[in-house]
């Protein structure tokens, strides 16, 4: 229906592909924008995966009908703008926490960030156009180009691999098991390939299909169904008999205080918030706990310079165990220049810091202000409270605490980076993600964050424990299955055992994205060979 309404200038006898090809001007870009929005509906928490079919088929037709690479770039950009505006709209909610200062930035944040992220689909569209391929070959090149664009988006300008296409399958434990081999980027390659494949058989568009080599609709349907069945079958076999084994003698208590972001840093409420964490930590069942975990910045004061505060926290430290909490860390008084870190502390029974990790992958505009001198003069500042920018830590770390398996701490969105959640050297036994998704209210953001974190567990074959101020605390086993959780805007604790890691390294843990890269590279070579022979 959308195709038909936009294709007002097309003749009734045209195929659907021909109608799309006949679009000009704003109709072409408007359709690309709507198709990008449709693709975003496949992401968590909606998971309308069938919408990927019209989204990518339509996008491929629009690219094919573009007269030159510049026109293809604009098609890809408009698709990306719609896709990311819908997929990351929740960014605007964080600007309402201090609406008086930041609400005016909402349109600039949503469409500015989406406009930047849309450059990557634009690159994929250009690569597809200049390949001069046809038929199935063009689909293969397009899927590989999308794979490359997602990889680049994850590393360029500090990286933002949010909502990678493979996460559309996070609703199914079985479908995401293949990420233990090819990672979420590889699963995204397969997803885009299958979603765009019907473009070669629906209608007739010069260059997409020809009289000589155009698969029939039922043949394409068989290929798609067989591939999806194969992915699910791999997952079913991997999960068959894979019980959630737990680490002996470890009992976790994850605290989710559910403190509204507008109340979190208010000076008049800090004592109450601190007491709230202590009360939840020591609620009935505490005597059986060996490790208490608080979320990101649960302690709103610098622990290193507040020994009395650390001493007060010892009532929430289990006997012989630890309290792990997020907290700011500052340089000591008199040190110049002063610095601030977003950190994780492990506090022991004596109130001492047994281990500290400083977040190294900071959020631009959230934790620091790029080009501070220029933007500050324009009235733009970071949205996190405090005058100082956070400083980055030295990098990923593996913390060793007596009585616990080694752990890899990840603060907030550090968990969304495939193959970059474990430090080189001694391998950890589990991943710990502390976060504060209260910034994003009741939106899709916290669900997307959890979906990405779950896939890290599958890729690495490691359990993941997630403590959120709110949205969404969980315990995830090494196959990505959620064994316990507290929902968005819920207050309480999770008492759970710590799942064990898989006994052998996954292929992804061993080789990272190289397997997916080889598959996508083979797709390009096959696509170029087949696509130029049609």
Taking only the tens place, the pLDDT of each residue in 489-515 is 999 999 999 999 999 999 999 999 999
Question: Is 60 exceeded by the pLDDT of residue 212?
Answer: no
Longest dimension (CA), the chain: 81
Kindly give, in sequence order, each residue whose CB lies less than 8 Å from that of residue 529, ignoring residues fewer than 6 positions away: 137
How many C-beta neighbours within 10 Å does residue 103 have? 12
Please name which of 359, 380, 357, 378 lies closest in space to residue 369, comparing C-alpha atoms.
Answer: 380
**Homologous superfamily in CATH for domain 246-499:** Carbon-nitrogen hydrolase (3.60.110.10)
Average pLDDT over residues 162-167: 98
Q: How many helices (H) and strands (E) does the chain have?
A: 19, 11
Reduced to 3 states (helix: H, G, I; strand: E, B; else coil), residue 269 is helix
pLDDT digits (tens, 9 = 90+) for 264-301: 999 999 999 999 999 999 999 999 999 999 999 999 99
C-alpha distances in Å from residue 66, one per residue of 29, 48, 121, 145, 377: 11, 28, 15, 17, 42
- pLDDT at site 255: 98
Reduced to 3 states (helix: H, G, I; strand: E, B; else coil), residue 326 is strand
Confidence of residue 336 (pLDDT cuts 50, 70, 90): confident
490 part of the active site: no
Question: Is 90 exceeded by the pLDDT of residue 18?
Answer: no
- pLDDT at site 451: 98
> Is pLDDT larger for residue 165 or for residue 101?
165
Please name which of 129, 151, 152, 153 lies closest in space to residue 141, comparing C-alpha atoms.
Answer: 129
CA 112 – CA 110 distance, rounded (Å): 6
Can you list the alpha helix ranges (DSSP code H) found in 282-352? 307-313
User: What token pair was written down for 97?
Assistant: 């926490």
- pLDDT at site 134: 87
C-alpha distances in Å from residue 387, one per residue of 102, 196, 333: 15, 48, 16
- pLDDT at site 206: 47
296 part of the active site: yes
User: What token pair was written down for 525?
Assistant: 């070579």
Confidence of residue 72 (pLDDT cuts 50, 70, 90): very high
Measured at the CA of 183, the angle between CA 454 and CA 466, to 5 degrees, comes to: 15
Of the residues 150, 264, 367, 412, only one is catalytic, namely 412
- pLDDT at site 264: 93
pLDDT digits (tens, 9 = 90+) for 234-254: 999 999 989 989 999 999 999
Q: What is the CA radius of gyration of the chain?
A: 25
pLDDT digits (tens, 9 = 90+) for 417-448: 999 999 999 899 999 999 999 999 999 999 99
Confidence of residue 154 (pLDDT cuts 50, 70, 90): very high
CA 465 – CA 484 distance, rounded (Å): 10
User: What token pair was written down for 270?
Assistant: 């800090």
Question: Is 50 exceeded by the pLDDT of residue 208?
Answer: no
pLDDT digits (tens, 9 = 90+) for 399-420: 999 999 999 999 999 999 999 9
Average pLDDT over residues 148-158: 96
Question: Is 90 exceeded by the pLDDT of residue 14?
Answer: no
What share of the chain has pLDDT > 90, as a percent?
77
245 contacts 502 by C-beta, under 8 angstroms: no
The residue behind tokens 């605490």 is 401
- pLDDT at site 335: 79
- pLDDT at site 211: 46
CA atoms within 13 A on the CB side of 351: 13
- pLDDT at site 3: 52
Confidence of residue 11 (pLDDT cuts 50, 70, 90): low
List the chain domain ranges.
18-240+513-531, 246-499
Average pLDDT over residues 120-140: 95
Average pLDDT over residues 201-205: 62
pLDDT digits (tens, 9 = 90+) for 298-331: 999 988 888 999 999 999 999 999 999 999 999 8
CA 32 – CA 527 distance, rounded (Å): 24
Question: Is 80 exceeded by the pLDDT of residue 132?
Answer: yes
The H or E element containing residue 493 is: strand 492-499
Please name which of 43, 142, 4, 76 lies closest in space to residue 443, comparing C-alpha atoms.
Answer: 43
349 part of the active site: no
The residue behind tokens 């950890």 is 428
Confidence of residue 68 (pLDDT cuts 50, 70, 90): very high
Of the residues 150, 264, 359, 367, only one is catalytic, namely 359
Can you list the alpha helix ranges (DSSP code H) found in 88-215? 91-94, 99-102, 106-117, 119-130, 135-153, 179-196
CA 119 – CA 153 distance, rounded (Å): 9
- pLDDT at site 210: 46
Q: What is 221-252 written as a DSSP string?
A: HHHHHHHHHHHHHHHHHHHTT----EEEEEEE
Average pLDDT value over all residues in the chain: 92
CA 182 – CA 192 distance, rounded (Å): 15
- pLDDT at site 383: 66
Question: Is 80 exceeded by the pLDDT of residue 205?
Answer: no
- pLDDT at site 98: 86
- pLDDT at site 278: 98
Q: What is 14-51 written as a DSSP string?
A: S-HHHHHHT--HHHHHHHHHHHHHHHHTTSTTT--GGG
72 contacts 126 by C-beta, under 8 angstroms: yes
CA 410 – CA 178 distance, rounded (Å): 23
Please name which of 52, 83, 38, 43 lies closest in space to residue 448, comparing C-alpha atoms.
Answer: 43
Q: Which residues of 5-26 are buried (b: 16+ CB within 10 A; e: fewer)?
A: ebbeebeeebebbbbbbbbeee
């Amino acid at each position: 229906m959308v195709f038909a309404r936009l294709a007002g200038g097309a003749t009734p006898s045209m195929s659907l592909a021909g109608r799309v090809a006949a679009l000009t001007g704003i109709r072409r870009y408007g359709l690309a924008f709507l198709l990008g929005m449709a693709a975003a509906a496949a992401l968590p928490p909606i998971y309308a995966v069938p919408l990927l079919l019209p989204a990518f088929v339509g996008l491929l037709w629009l690219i094919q009908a573009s007269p030159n690479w510049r026109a293809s770039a604009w098609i890809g950009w408009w698709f990306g703008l719609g896709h990311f505006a819908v997929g990351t709209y929740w960014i605007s909610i964080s600007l309402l926490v201090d609406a008086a200062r930041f609400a005016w930035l909402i349109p600039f944040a949503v469409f500015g960030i989406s406009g930047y992220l849309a450059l990557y689909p634009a690159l994929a569209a250009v690569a597809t156009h200049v390949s001069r391929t046809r038929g199935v070959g063009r689909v293969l090149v397009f899927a590989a180009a999308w794979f490359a664009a997602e990889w680049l988006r994850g590393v360029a300008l500090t990286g933002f691999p949010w909502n990678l296409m493979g996460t559309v399958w996070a609703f199914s434990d079985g479908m995401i098991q293949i990420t233990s081999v090819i990672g979420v980027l590889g699963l995204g390659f397969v997803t885009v390939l299958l979603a765009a494949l019907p473009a070669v058989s629906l209608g007739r568009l010069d260059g997409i299909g020809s009289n000589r080599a155009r698969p029939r609709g039922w043949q394409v349907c068989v290929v798609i169904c067989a591939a999806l069945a194969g992915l699910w079958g791999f997952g079913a076999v991997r999960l068959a008999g894979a019980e959630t084994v737990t680490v002996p003698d470890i009992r976790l208590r994850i605290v989710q205080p559910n403190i509204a972001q507008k109340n979190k840093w208010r000076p008049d409420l800090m004592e109450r918030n601190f007491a709230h964490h202590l009360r939840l930590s020591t609620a009935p069942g505490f005597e059986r706990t060996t490790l208490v975990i608080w979320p990101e910045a649960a302690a709103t004061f610098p622990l290193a310079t507040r020994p009395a505060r650390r001493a007060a926290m010892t009532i929430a430290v289990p006997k012989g165990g630890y309290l792990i909490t997020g907290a700011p860390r500052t340089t000591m008084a008199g040190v110049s220049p002063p610095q601030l870190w977003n950190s994780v502390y492990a506090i022991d029974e004596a109130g001492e810091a047994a281990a500290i990790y400083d977040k190294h992958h900071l959020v631009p505009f959230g934790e620091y202000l790029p080009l501070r001198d220029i933007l500050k003069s324009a009235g733009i500042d970071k949205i996190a409270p405090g005058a100082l920018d956070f400083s980055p830590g030295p990098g990923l770390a593996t913390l060793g605490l007596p009585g616990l398996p080694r752990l890899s701490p990840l603060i907030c969105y550090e968990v969304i980076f495939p193959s970059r959640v474990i430090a080189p050297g001694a391998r950890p036994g589990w991943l710990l993600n502390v976060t504060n998704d209260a910034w994003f209210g009741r939106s899709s953001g916290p669900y997307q964050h959890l979906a990405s974190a779950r896939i890290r567990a599958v890729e690495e074959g490691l359990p993941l424990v997630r403590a959120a101020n709110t949205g969404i605390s969980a315990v995830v086993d090494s196959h990505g299955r959620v064994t316990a959780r507290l929902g968005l805007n819920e207050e309480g604790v999770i008492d759970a055992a710590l799942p064990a890691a898989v006994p052998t390294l996954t292929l992804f843990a061993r080789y990272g994205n190289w397997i997916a890269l080889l598959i996508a590279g083979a797709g390009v070579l096959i696509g170029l060979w087949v696509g130029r022979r049609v």
